[in-house]
């Protein structure tokens, strides 16, 4: 037998038991006359003790063991003379009388410790060693628990998990598809799904009125810390529902996860209109852990002769409470921050609210004390507050101020990763104007239904039509999004036309869906959650790579197995492909 117990479970109550343990050598402490070894497995660490006086041969063998050797030991559980309360098994140790090396190990390229000395690159290359560390094991365990709790909750609500295919059909809307050549059908390709969207709608037509799936999705786009080419969604769909039914159902799932995973009872989630989120936070995924709402200043700020304000489409600011003491240098740094190309503001106007009730501003030349006071009142600013104002084109300025708001939130320590502020953003626009292609495209996806009361605007002002679409946002992270779908062939056709599809294109790409709508499609809607992001959020990390066992780097490469890689000429021939690119 290779083991009778794990390295995390033996306690004082097991004293004098004879046990066999197997695991990895975490560390040896050779004191000369005696040697201690920390033996590690997934469950914990147990101390082994070898004594030169009682068993010199065995003790010599133990001294030769290197880090990460795999060993099997048999011995008796003894109470420690010096207990280590930092360790779950710290009250006992194993007095070893038999030692077998199951496998040796090269010296690992970095230490398998909580505070490892290994850098990102190296740890990715030796991911199987990195995964031995506690932080990764805890993250993967958290991921597992969240998946289990999701399945438990969904099952309790009568949802059933149904698998949908991975080899499907390429369609133009949305992200770039990963594509798979077909051997049996020369010149034709499958695509990997960007999501099971159309299949789950077909399941609704089929009468499976509560569906979910924890499922891989694939998008061939450039990566970020929170984006992988393959990622996991909690994909859900319901029939006979309206927007509120969906929000309530999945607010239930979110609350269940907060409760069971984080032990938190969270309040009902606020529901914020898309237009309000943009107006007050400059973002469709506001971080509500802190307030610092935007205050628009077009009326009071214009007409004072300050060209920047007078010519701006929008003048808008925030109040950074308690920052009135910022030095010139600190303010310059903030100005540099907003002028970075990614932020894109031209400059930053400040108003310092001095403790004596006076104001100091970068636009003193144009605004007297009284006028500054009037501006400050709009923010409910108190002495020692700092008002920061940006001006310019509306969308750009809001986006820049959003970044500045988050930066100030971070500086003021208002973005505690242990605090969670979920909310719904509702009533997204149906369409978005794309400058590049000079046409509208669906903001969510082309199956999203417009608001009934906005139908009349579809012909003349389609940009103003609102959709039955919603996002779940937690702490400034978009965790999920969905919509009430179109279930009527005529409306779906009209939608495709609006998006610039010809009738033939729509038919060849989505005919299967529209045909299905002719056979009694029920009203339906759903949502999909970014599972990796949700786990990352609960794990307190910014990068979803930390919660994926074998992630890819930001060029889409797996540096451990070295993929993607070339394939042989024979393989190419089999799939009827010839390469055509410059090396």
Using CB under 7 A, which of the segments 105-113, 296-304, 382-390, 572-580 binds RNA? Answer: 105-113
| CA-based nearest residue to 153, from 240, 232, 244, 258 | 258
Which one, 119 or 207, has the nearer CB to RNA? Answer: 119
Exactly one of 101, 147, 412, 443 binds RNA (CB under 7 A); which one? 443
| CA-based nearest residue to 536, from 204, 261, 171 | 261
Exactly one of 12, 14, 109, 144 binds RNA (CB under 7 A); which one? 109
The set of residues, in sequence order, having a beta carbon less than 8 Å from that of 530 and lying 6+ positions away, is: 231, 232, 233, 478, 479, 480
Which one, 279 or 557, has the nearer CB to RNA? Answer: 557
Exactly one of 7, 21, 39, 49 binds RNA (CB under 7 A); which one? 49
236's enclosing H/E stretch is strand 230-239
Exactly one of 8, 55, 76, 80 binds RNA (CB under 7 A); which one? 80
Smallest gap, in angstroms, from Cβ of residue 469 to RNA? 9
Q: Tell me 547's DSSP state.
A: G
Q: Which of residues 129-158 bind RNA (CB under 7 A)?
A: none
Which one, 302 or 339, has the nearer CB to RNA? Answer: 339
Using CB under 7 A, which of the segments 151-159, 269-277, 363-371, 551-559 binds RNA? Answer: 551-559
Smallest gap, in angstroms, from Cβ of residue 341 to RNA? 6
| CA-based nearest residue to 178, from 224, 215, 231 | 231
Instruction: Assess 186 for contact with RNA (CB under 7 A).
Output: no
Instruction: Assess 509 for contact with RNA (CB under 7 A).
Output: no
Instruction: Assess 304 for contact with RNA (CB under 7 A).
Output: no
Distance CA 106, CA 46 (A): 22
Instruction: Assess 222 for contact with RNA (CB under 7 A).
Output: yes
Distance CA 390, CA 372 (A): 15
Exactly one of 34, 88, 101, 162 binds RNA (CB under 7 A); which one? 34
| CA-based nearest residue to 50, from 42, 59, 41 | 59
Q: What is the dihedral of CA 404, 408, 410, 416, to 10 degrees?
A: -110
Distance CA 379, CA 296 (A): 10
Which one, 145 or 168, has the nearer CB to RNA? Answer: 168
Counts for the chain of helices (H) and strands (E), in that order: 16, 22
Distance CA 553, CA 124 (A): 8
Exactly one of 2, 16, 86, 568 binds RNA (CB under 7 A); which one? 86
Smallest gap, in angstroms, from Cβ of residue 105 to RNA? 11
Instruction: Assess 55 for contact with RNA (CB under 7 A).
Output: no
Smallest gap, in angstroms, from Cβ of residue 266 to RNA? 26
| CA-based nearest residue to 212, from 250, 268, 261, 184 | 250
Which one, 109 or 165, has the nearer CB to RNA? Answer: 109
Could you give the string, one character per residue 336-365, with x where binding to RNA holds by CB under 7 A and - elsewhere?
-----xx-----------------------
**Measured between alpha carbons, how far is residue 232 from residues 127, 144, 175, 218, 469 in Å?**
20, 13, 16, 9, 21
Distance CA 217, CA 196 (A): 8
Q: Tell me 48's DSSP state.
A: E
Tokens standing for 253?
A: 């799932």
Smallest gap, in angstroms, from Cβ of residue 570 to RNA? 26
Distance CA 305, CA 367 (A): 9
Distance CA 498, CA 381 (A): 47
Instruction: Assess 566 for contact with RNA (CB under 7 A).
Output: no
Smallest gap, in angstroms, from Cβ of residue 66 to RNA? 5
What is the binding site for RNA (CB under 7 A)? 27, 29-34, 36, 38, 47, 49, 51-53, 66-67, 80-84, 86-87, 90, 93, 107, 109-111, 117-122, 124, 173-176, 194-195, 197, 219, 221-227, 341-342, 432, 436, 441-446, 543, 545, 553-555, 557, 559
């Amino acid at each position: 037998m290779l083991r009778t117990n794990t390295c995390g479970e033996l306690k004082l109550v097991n004293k004098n038991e004879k046990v066999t343990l197997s695991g990895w050598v975490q560390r040896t402490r050779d004191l000369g006359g005696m040697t201690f070894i920390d033996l590690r497995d997934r469950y914990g660490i147990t101390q082994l003790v070898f004594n030169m006086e009682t068993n010199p041969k065995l003790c010599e063998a133990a001294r030769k063991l290197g880090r990460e050797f795999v060993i099997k030991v048999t011995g008796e559980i003894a109470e420690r003379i010096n207990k280590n309360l930092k360790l779950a098994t710290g009250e006992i140790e194993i007095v070893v009388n038999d030692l077998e090396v199951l496998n040796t190990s090269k010296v690992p390229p970095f230490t398998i410790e909580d505070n490892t000395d290994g850098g990102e690159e190296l740890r990715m290359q030796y991911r199987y060693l990195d995964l031995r560390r506690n932080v990764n094991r805890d993250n993967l365990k958290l991921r597992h628990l969240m998946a289990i709790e999701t399945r438990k909750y969904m099952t309790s609500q009568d949802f059933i998990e149904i698998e949908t295919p991975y080899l499907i059909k390429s369609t133009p809307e949305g992200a770039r598809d990963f594509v798979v050549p077909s051997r049996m059908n020369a010149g034709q390709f499958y695509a990997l799904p960007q999501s099971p969207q159309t299949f789950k709608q077909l399941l609704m037509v089929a009468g499976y009125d509560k569906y979910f799936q924890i499922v891989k999705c694939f998008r061939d786009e450039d990566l970020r810390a929170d984006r992988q080419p393959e990622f996991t969604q909690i994909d859900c769909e319901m029939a006979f529902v309206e927007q509120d039914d969906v929000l309530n159902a999945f607010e239930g799932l979110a609350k269940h996860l907060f409760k069971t995973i984080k032990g938190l009872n969270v309040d009902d989630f606020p529901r914020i209109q898309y237009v309000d989120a943009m107006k007050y936070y400059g973002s469709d995924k506001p971080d509500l852990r802190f307030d610092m709402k935007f205050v628009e200043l077009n009326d009071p700020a214009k007409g004072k002769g300050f060209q920047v304000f007078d010519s701006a489409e929008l003048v808008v600011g925030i109040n950074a409470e308690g920052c009135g003491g910022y030095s010139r240098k600190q303010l310059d740094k903030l100005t540099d921050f907003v002028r970075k190309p990614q932020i894109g503001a031209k400059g930053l106007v400040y108003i310092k609210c001095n403790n004596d009730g006076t104001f100091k501003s970068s636009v003193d030349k144009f605004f007297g004390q009284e006028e500054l006071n009037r501006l400050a009142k709009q923010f409910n600013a108190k002495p020692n507050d700092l008002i920061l104002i940006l001006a310019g084109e509306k969308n750009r300025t809001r986006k820049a101020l959003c970044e500045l708001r988050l930066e100030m939130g971070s500086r003021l320590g208002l973005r505690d990763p242990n605090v969670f502020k979920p909310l719904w953003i509702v009533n997204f626009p149906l369409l978005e104007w794309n400058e590049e292609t000079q046409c509208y495209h669906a903001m969510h996806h082309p199956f999203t239904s417009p608001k009934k009361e906005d139908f009349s605007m579809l012909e003349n002002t389609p940009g103003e039509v609102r959709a039955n679409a919603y996002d779940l946002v937690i702490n400034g992270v978009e965790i999920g999004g969905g919509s009430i779908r179109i279930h009527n062939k005529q409306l779906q056709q009209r939608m495709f036309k609006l998006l610039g599809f010809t009738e033939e294109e729509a038919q060849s790409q989505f005919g299967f869906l529209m045909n299905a709508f002719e056979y009694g499609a029920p009203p339906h809607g759903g949502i999909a959650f970014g599972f990796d992001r949700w786990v990352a959020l609960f794990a307190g990390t910014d990068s979803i790579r930390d919660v994926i066992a074998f992630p890819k780097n930001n060029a889409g490469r797996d540096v451990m197995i070295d993929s993607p890689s070339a394939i042989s000429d024979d393989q190419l021939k089999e799939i009827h492909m010839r390469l055509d690119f410059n090396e």
